[in-house]
Structure 1
Amino acid sequence: MAAGERLIQYKGEVTRWRPAAARQRSDVGHTFVFGLSDGRVIDGSRGGNSARFLNHACAPNCEAIETGDRIYVHALTDIKPGDELFIDYGLEIEGEISEDIRAQYVCHCGASTCRQSMIGHRAESS
């Protein structure tokens, strides 16, 4: 796959945060929810596809692009067959980010630019 190429659509039920969050609490350790700019989410745990298994990296080889109520994953770099696909989760956390929350979302990607967290830059600076 060449840089810029669309790889996969992130599929799942388009819903509100509240019902999706309730489902996530029962599946501790996994987050299959992708936020949309209008406040709704795509819940990959309901009717999702393999895109829900994309892992986080601080130096990702893919990016997510929102088009309407859909999310598409595009290559940021050339990707060879067998390469693992990574996106920067850029998680947004409401309220104060405690040490417990930081520990829950610690990153071990090993990139030279690793920020040690799956939490997005803006949330980290607050």
Structure 2
Amino acid sequence: MIETPQKSSRQVRERKVRVGKSGVHGKGVFTVRKIRKGARIIEYTGERISWKKAQQLPAHDPKNPHHTFFFSLDDGRVIDAGVGGNEARWINHSCEPNCETSESKGRVYVFALCTLKAREELFYDYRLEPAEPRTEKLERLFRCNCGSANCRGTMLELL
């Protein structure tokens, strides 16, 4: 089932973000205008599927099979933003993020951790929880490119 929120004409007029080329990795999401600390920026949308189904799906990009648009939900399901997803699927990881995600009633929203200037790239800490045992190889597969002073070198959850 694909769940896509209804957009009012006001929401369309008040567009907050755009997708563009990222200096960190591939595509990224950038602010269109100033966004205040604490503001809800965007919902992470896509098809809600079971984790079992998510693991069986072919890679979105066969050249990079570990890159997905999955977002794990508290109830064990996954949002697959590769199907019915929006701009939020292109938000990159950083060990020093300027955004955070919050789940409410099965919906995931991205909020500003600080006041963001126009044309600023959005980042949140993915804190990925792998389904397999954590190894050095796995950490390399999920290497972090954020370049922040406190970079932990991986997008995986801290041990």
- Give the structure-2-normalised TM-score: 0.73
When you count helix as a share of all residues, which structure comes out higher?
1
Deviations 1:45-79 (A, max 9, x none): 01000100000000000000001110000000111
Please show how residues 107-122 of structure 1 align to structure 2 within 5 Å.
107-121=144-158
Contact 1:24/1:31 (8 A) holds in 2 = no
- Structure 1: where are the runs of 5+ without partners? none
What is the aligned counterpart of 1:40 among 63, 77, 87? 77
How has the CA–CA distance of structure 1 residues 9 and 26 changed in structure 2, closer, same or farther, with 3 Å as cutoff? Answer: closer
What is the aligned counterpart of 1:8 among 42, 67, 76? 42
Aligned-residue RMSD, C-alpha: 1.3
Q: What's the counterpart of residue 17 of structure 2?
A: none
Structure with larger Rg: 2
Q: Which amino acid aligns with 2:140?
A: A
- Structure 2: where are the runs of 5+ without partners? 1-34
Q: What is the distance in 2 between the residues matched to 1:74 and 1:65?
A: 8
When you count strand as a share of all residues, which structure comes out higher?
2
User: Runs ≥4 in structure 1, deviation > 6 angstroms?
Assistant: none
How has the CA–CA distance of structure 1 residues 47 and 26 changed in structure 2, closer, same or farther, with 3 Å as cutoff? Answer: closer
- The alignment partner of 1:25 has SS state of coil
Percent of aligned positions with the same letter in both sequences?
43
Contact 1:107/1:114 (8 A) holds in 2 = yes
Task: Figure out how many residues of one structure are paired with residues of the other and give that number.
Answer: 122
